[in-house]
Structure 1
């Protein structure tokens, strides 16, 4: 059995289905979660605007973007305190956040049967949330559900996380290299950053 890990971009899916129909196409977990976090953030943006328009105090949602989007274990102490404060309010953003966190349990299942059972249960709950960005995410999940479930059929062994990390490093170096006069200089910078090549010793010493 051959495996291909991709995102949900339609041209990718069409090419894979045409050129490698024998392979098990796995939708990358990173991209699925990315769609969900974007939906949560959209709920937050819309709620801040609504509270302002209606004359309510929206300060509880100030500086909460990363508090709501990051995994709890990655929060700073300040972000944890801000999140705890926001969770004490009955807000649409809080409901969206709780749905995001409960969705993470889906990935913990080992059995494809029970994983799909939980996903169906979560989708029904999310559709009742009356949060349009979340409902849009559910529709995306349902339209790609067989490919999402392939992750479990492949024993959760395949992900494009390493490739995504490399792409981020390439983009970062490219931004830093803005103004380089030649492609060769940029290529050397990428080799040293992404390839982990040793850097030459500095020809100058700076005294503090």
Structure 2
């Protein structure tokens, strides 16, 4: 307990850093995931190819390698941003591929007749997707999207290796101060539990209200 009470500000900074990474990267992942899912079911071939390439490349690229590519590669091309922003980009882009596939799976559960009926009424692809297909698909993708964002929160620990303030990285300072490494990691684990259980509770509430009845 002394590890926590004597270093509460350090743990707090790491906890808030992880929360910020999770929130910002989740927002980016949801936006990109939605966009790529729309591309993958679009009637335009070039958009479908772009969506497929995006998902295939990112799902099959180790996240650590993506961090190296973003945090160390982009500055070589003159893109200089705070490391936290680079970390959000890496996490958000990586997770968007999994969000995209979850959304696409949900879209595929919507009967084709729904889209055909919308088009027969003169609705465009964008209108059909936004007003007819996605509202129905949303109900079935709540659990997998929630699980993906929980994984994102845990994946944010990689950012600590790239000088980004986050929860897991606090163990280095605490270890140097001579604190018991076991209790150091116990409190780090508690911090991650708070974050992941909060996300789980949020999506459980969403599923209870909007999910498909079982």
TM-score by length of 2: 0.27
TM-score by length of 1: 0.28
Higher normalized contact order (CA 8 Å, seq sep 6+, divided by chain length): 2
